[in-house]
Structure 1
Amino acid sequence: MSKAADSEAKQVRSSRQRKPNGRNVSLGDVARGAGVSTATVSRVLNNPEKVAERNRLAVTAAIDSLGYIPDGAARALASRQSRIIGAVVPSLDNALFAAGIQSLQRRLKYHGYTLIVASHEYNLEEELEEVKILLRQGVDALLLVGSEHDQKLVQLIESKAVPYVNCWAYDPDSEQPCIGFDNRKAARKITQYLLDLGHTDFAVIAGRTENNDRAADRLRGITEVIKEHNLSLPEDRIQQTSYSVKKGREAMRMLLKAGKRPTVVLCGNDILALGAIAECQSAGIKVPEEISITGFDDLEMSAQMNPALTTIHVPSAEMGEQAADFLVARIRQEPSMLHTEIMADLMVRETTAKPSD
């Protein structure tokens, strides 16, 4: 074997031996493997969106091939950033939040950040504790859900000068940054659509409004429009409950037992609507021929149900992506809009019709 071939073989063996322990692979090894400078490798690790796609892919391939593991602690010490973003959501058992968080994570990864997610089960004290934990871990920014928080939470975040944003809600008058949609306006839109169909006899299965400004705003939007048309919505026609199919069925059962049957039931989300429809089908009540039912969220299943659900489309994926861009811009002290409204559209499908005579 020639000296050149022998040298090359040793390099290959050395690379293979180092791969299981990526800590032994240096930035220079990655640069040589990718055919770029160490500065380019560093940019890919810290600001990948500023690197040409060809070089970014080459560096990523070299990192995978060599088993390179960046020293996160060293990077954080050098940049005074952990490159970790925290997100605190009300529940992890919710497809709507899952879609938004998935989009957020994907976009943050593109920017070179890692996401940590925590939940508080609609408990504002628990939300505060989760935020404290994330701040102790040194997160660079935070995503929160809604605009209703413990006042201590906002004061704590702002005292630490940590960028944050409220999502899934929109309040242009707030001093807090937000990216979301107007829950009240969206609820008004779907209620007005039902009035235009000719409905006057309403009932509501709402999410619990305590510590949930989104549910409260949706219920407020519904009741406002009904009152504006000089119609009534008695207390026994409003069921507040937890978000589950079972709870949707139970709430619908209560409404059906309450006396005169409403011609339409507005549900606080698609999961509750699914339960309401299931209860009607079990009772032999046809949807929408005998009763119309609406949801809110537009989950993937909603268009595939039989009948397909009339609902409000919540742009969770778009919110997650825009939230990622906003937080990264704030970390870099780049210009960004304090309030961003994303439209929530009415999706008319098969669970609504004109009231039967």
Structure 2
Amino acid sequence: MKAHNNLSADPTMKDVAIAAGVASVTVSRYLNDPAVVSDRTKQKIDAAIKQLNYVPHAAARTLASKRSRMIGAVIPSLDSSLFGRTIEVFQNQISTAGYNMMLASNNYNIEKEYEHITQMVSHGMDALILVGQSRDKHIYELLQAKSIPYVLTWAVDDNFEHPCIGFDNQAAAGDITRYLLHLGHTKFAMISGFTENNDRALNRLIGVRAALEKQNLSLSDDNLLQSKFGIEEGREAFRLLMSRANKPTAIICGSEPFAYGVIFEAKNMGIKIPEEVSIVGFDDMALASNITPRLTTIRTPQEQMGMLAAKYLVSRLNGEDIPLPQPLATELVVRESCAPPPKS
């Protein structure tokens, strides 16, 4: 890299080019599409940028390239690590293609999501990654009108109206319900997130009920408790369920924080898991294999969704017609929180 003694307080792209010993057009290409520049040249330009403390002018870059090099991500919540695994892989993948990510949380609020997305569009987002299918239909009209690629995750679209990279929540919930049926359980309860404006929670509930109905069983409204996601909410739901005369012998938790709360509260109440009641979760978060008893759950393809969603959007932005994958596989992970129902 060439010496550059006249450091400016506000260095320009030309200053970077001189310091790196390359043409200004090469620096411009690198900033707008790193993939077209050789690794050796990248290293020289990176070193010059750091030496000069150069920060590209975002508006100028957007005007020159018609790209902001930003991809928006709107997720339901920042409260837990659930969506973090997908988003971390997604961010790492798009960064290798020269894109950065803008993240927002809608708190399961359709109006808030619409607000976030319109703001992102107004700031020139090149593409968007979203979670699930429950949203204002005008969002799709906006994205299509602006020719902004998007992909939905954590769900599948049986009607093929929207690009999805996810898994079948209904089928996965059916799998874990059938496992409990196989153990001999007939008295079921479920702790679910609110199903309104949450297609994932709704489809998990549908999957549980469909599996029970095939065995001429049902999930009564009294044994379906819906609340916001959280450990304390799991504790509260468990206390209510186990205070009843006709207690369930199997509790299906539609999200794992509920299951953690159930296990903590069971210890507090002196109720043995799985001897007195079996507990299952959904998603296989980090605590599932470390809590006592270790939690039987559904492992969802969180990292795979992030990687494939990133590859899909980057390919679309590069003008490539990339096929979408089939629904991704989930896995029933059997651990220690389930047993046959007590004989009494």
Normalising to structure 2: TM-score of the pair?
Answer: 0.92
Correspondence 1:270 to 2:256: yes
8 Å CA contact 2:16, 2:49 repeated in 1:
no
Structure 1 Cα separation of the partners of residues 198 and 20 of structure 2: 50
When structure 1 is superposed on structure 2, of 178-187 and 149-158 the one drifting more is 149-158
Match of 2:164 in 1: 178
Structure 1 Cα separation of the partners of residues 35 and 184 of structure 2: 52
Deviation (angstroms), 1:37? 5.9
Count of residues in correspondence between the two structures: 342
Structure 2 Cα separation of the partners of residues 12 and 75 of structure 1: 24
Correspondence 1:26 to 2:12: no
Correspondence 1:95 to 2:84: no
Match of 1:301 in 2: 287
Question: What secondary structure does 1:118 align onto?
Answer: strand
Structure 2 Cα separation of the partners of residues 186 and 40 of structure 1: 50
Deviation (angstroms), 1:42? 4.1
Match of 1:288 in 2: 274
CA, structure 1 residues 71+194, in 2 after alignment: closer, same or farther (shift >3 Å)? same
Question: What secondary structure does 2:104 align onto?
Answer: strand
1:226 to 209, 212, 215: 212
The equivalences for 1:301-320 within 5 A come to 301-320=287-306
Structure 1 Cα separation of the partners of residues 42 and 107 of structure 2: 40
Q: Which amino acid aligns with 1:46?
A: N
Structure 2 Cα separation of the partners of residues 200 and 51 of structure 1: 63
Q: Which amino acid aligns with 1:133?
A: Q
Match of 2:110 in 1: 124
Match of 1:192 in 2: 178
Q: Which runs of 5+ in 1 are unaligned?
A: 1-7
Q: Which amino acid aligns with 2:289?
A: A
Deviation (angstroms), 1:40? 5.2
Deviation (angstroms), 1:104? 1.5
Structure 2 Cα separation of the partners of residues 123 and 88 of structure 1: 11
The equivalences for 1:69-80 within 5 A come to 69-80=55-66
2:142 to 139, 142, 156: 156
8 Å CA contact 1:25, 1:66 repeated in 2:
no
Question: What secondary structure does 1:259 align onto?
Answer: coil
CA, structure 1 residues 221+331, in 2 after alignment: closer, same or farther (shift >3 Å)? same
8 Å CA contact 1:179, 1:323 repeated in 2:
yes
Correspondence 1:236 to 2:225: no
1:249 to 235, 245, 255: 235
When structure 1 is superposed on structure 2, of 145-154 and 43-52 the one drifting more is 43-52
Deviation (angstroms), 1:53? 4.3
Match of 2:328 in 1: 342
1:142 to 125, 128, 140: 128
Q: Which amino acid aligns with 2:225?
A: Q
Question: What secondary structure does 1:165 align onto?
Answer: strand
Identity of aligned residues (%): 43
CA, structure 1 residues 118+235, in 2 after alignment: closer, same or farther (shift >3 Å)? same
Structure 1 Cα separation of the partners of residues 158 and 25 of structure 2: 42
Match of 1:212 in 2: 198
Structure 2 Cα separation of the partners of residues 274 and 67 of structure 1: 47
Q: Which has the larger radius of gyration?
A: 1
When structure 1 is superposed on structure 2, of 86-95 and 37-46 the one drifting more is 37-46
Correspondence 1:133 to 2:119: yes
Deviation (angstroms), 1:314? 1.8
Q: Which runs of 5+ in 2 are unaligned?
A: none
Q: Which amino acid aligns with 1:245?
A: I
Question: What secondary structure does 2:96 align onto?
Answer: helix
- CA offset digits 1:93-127 (Å, max 9, x no partner): 12111221222211121111111111211111221
8 Å CA contact 1:25, 1:67 repeated in 2:
no
Match of 2:153 in 1: 167
- CA offset digits 1:285-321 (Å, max 9, x no partner): 1111211101111111111111111111122222112
1:113 to 94, 99, 113: 99
Q: Which amino acid aligns with 1:352?
A: C
8 Å CA contact 2:312, 2:324 repeated in 1:
no
Question: What secondary structure does 2:342 align onto?
Answer: coil
Match of 1:3 in 2: none
